[in-house]
Structure 1
């Protein structure tokens, strides 16, 4: 395991540095490192690391979402209002609709199989989007207009909505039918996560005011609570649950509102943790990518993915109608809401594991979506934000 950790960190950081030198996103180098080191490449990663890969990726997401919450300025988000809510589900719904319209004609799938594939592909990747929006907030680009806050919040909720849709469509494929409770659980899960996170953030602010401990200890306490929330969500067997990742982000927001100075210091600490967490996240996502599957897709698969992304971008455009955002700011939001990675890596193989006839196709499309949109989306964000957004 120690050799695997060493290879992940050294090669991941080196490849990331190489990509930055040639003006490409560092995550592209990390993804390539994962593909090379992973079981479908040179197979140099220990099985024990791969066995806990999902948990390690979730830890990295917890770190960056907490970091986002500690620095999130809600004033710009409040100014936008309605579009912030629409961004949570409208773009994903448009992409799913695009998949249902295109996949049956171009790939020979049934409408329900296309819906399953659409639910896998429709989620935006917080792993790609959130760190970039945090960077924009740190540098002051688009903050006054609330653009990074809007995308960050939407990306965090978008996944909850899409995963509920995916589980519903999978249930229908297995003959269970659609469950109203699952759809009711979407808003309940979101608002439950917000309420729990804010409450814990306020309680922690009060605790840190009364009990004076080092900032490093505060970070460890917040991380431990975040891990507990994720475990509790995973263990819940009730029909109604809460979103632990949304709760994690709102712990940071609650703490920031009550103890801003502490939140600023902790944000710096989390920024340092992210240096290592980012490498693990994208290298391990890359390790899930089986390049052999890409040989099975033809040009029609590219057309379907790009066509569905156009539907998604149009969904973002619809969300931003009636806002005071300029054309170039809307264009940035449309582009920034396209990258895929974490959700596709997590659930792309489930239909194949369940024995669905479309399973191989779904997994292939999930791999293609990661390879296509994660680096291109990150590159588009990095290349365009200084040109399209105003600096505060």
Structure 2
């Protein structure tokens, strides 16, 4: 029997690329987690371990405080009074900082996602009169073109295209059918209960129907690590949830452009029909170029690969938004990063565990508190919204019931407990919702001319989406983390086969 041998080639300027026969196929999604690995701390007393961890944590937050103060001082010196403690630009910065601190505190004390504290920070800042991002339309609109690139690029770097090809029916059914059912349900409810036009109902549905798998992925990975399970759950949740996200971003962009951008009707219909397909073509083409450029022998191959996908994604999203081809840029980012990751895996870069994915995680950690805090500032507490919020809660219950019923049915090939786990994972709504829900308001404010009815549609869309984030995120997270160990038990048949 022949063994696969790793060969290490020394390249110019001290760069080494490890090639292995095992890399002929794209590896499964991997994370830095191994339940069987023993660390040095296993042999250290609990007191010393606690003190060391506390010291490391204190040092971590201390350096963040120092860097934050230094950055503020730099901006103050460079741009003057607008960055003073009561300046125009200081307010968004301090709200983002408070949102980060509140999120970290919430996660340490309750393990709930920090985004909940961030969005509540934004709501509080708006309702005490400290910050209203409607006064920063240009800044907020600019940032909401950056958020999707980071979110979609981060997720698609973990896609295993070989897995998706092999399990395309399961991925497509779970990613498309519950999403479609929820969008249709939302459009009907909004039309019958609130008198929304069908197009606006579908616009809200395209936001509302997005599942937020990144909130649950760390939990899913920990639940499945070291277990002999019949399915690759991290990859199924990642790819099916990514398909769901791609639909939300793409369809929202198409509908938003159709509503907000004027032009010849024939051109608008052609643009709507071709937007998603064009995004796939552009993304796959750009990602394929990443196979050859930069060359693996380049001494700066790591940095150039990261810049290649990040800058390319930003340019695609800004360019398509500029010309009213909403949704095309987001789909291009997904297709590009998934294609690039497949090619890079052949050079030894593991999926979701390589320098590019690390860069995206750092960027997301930096922008996540600001995203949710700024979204929260659009939510104004008024007595007049009680009716809308009451109806919104009822619509949320109906939409969730439809989504989970369809999710349960399309997983007919899974065991009962596995189907229940999928339903738990398909509850949270957060990230895409937070990015997209104020976009219509910003677009109307930027145009300057709009009728009161249209603005009311946009306001209701935002309020109902924020409500869905606050309700579904903690419920979905707790269901998955608490019921997951019970629902994802090892399959005894698989265990026996592996032992044999």
Same fold (TM over 0.5): yes
Unaligned runs of 5+ in 1: none
Could you say which residue in structure 2 is the equivalent of 1:57?
Answer: 144
Larger radius of gyration: 2
Residue pair 1:11, 1:33 contacting (<8 A) in 2 also: yes
Matched, 1:13 2:100: yes
Residue pair 2:178, 2:407 contacting (<8 A) in 1 also: yes
| In 1, Cα distance between equivalents of 2:198 and 2:100 | 38
User: CA offsets, 1:252-292, max 9 Å, x none?
Assistant: 32332222344613322322222212112212222232333
**Which of 317, 320, 329 is the aligned partner of 1:230?**
317
Residue pair 2:437, 2:462 contacting (<8 A) in 1 also: yes
Matched, 1:256 2:336: no
The alignment's C-alpha RMSD in Å is 3.9
User: CA offsets, 1:50-72, max 9 Å, x none?
Assistant: 52112223323322322222233
| In 2, Cα distance between equivalents of 1:181 and 1:46 | 34
Distance 1:364 1:228, change over 3 A: closer
TM-score after normalising by structure 1: 0.79
Matched, 1:150 2:240: yes
**Which of 433, 436, 440 is the aligned partner of 1:343?**
436
| In 1, Cα distance between equivalents of 2:476 and 2:274 | 32
**Which of 374, 380, 387 is the aligned partner of 2:475?**
380
Could you say which residue in structure 1 is the equivalent of 2:422?
Answer: 330
Matched, 1:27 2:27: no
Could you say which residue in structure 1 is the equivalent of 2:360?
Answer: 270
| In 1, Cα distance between equivalents of 2:276 and 2:114 | 35
Distance 1:193 1:114, change over 3 A: same
Total equivalences in the alignment:
381
Unaligned runs of 5+ in 2: 1-82, 84-88, 225-231, 491-500
| In 2, Cα distance between equivalents of 1:89 and 1:135 | 23
TM-score after normalising by structure 2: 0.64
Give the structure, 1 or 2, with the largest relative contact order (CA under 8 Å, sep 6 or more): 1
**Which of 166, 178, 196 is the aligned partner of 2:285?**
196
Matched, 1:123 2:207: yes
Shift of 1:26: 0.9
User: CA offsets, 1:36-88, max 9 Å, x none?
Assistant: 334x5423478885521122233233223222222333344334313433555
Could you say which residue in structure 2 is the equivalent of 1:280?
Answer: 370
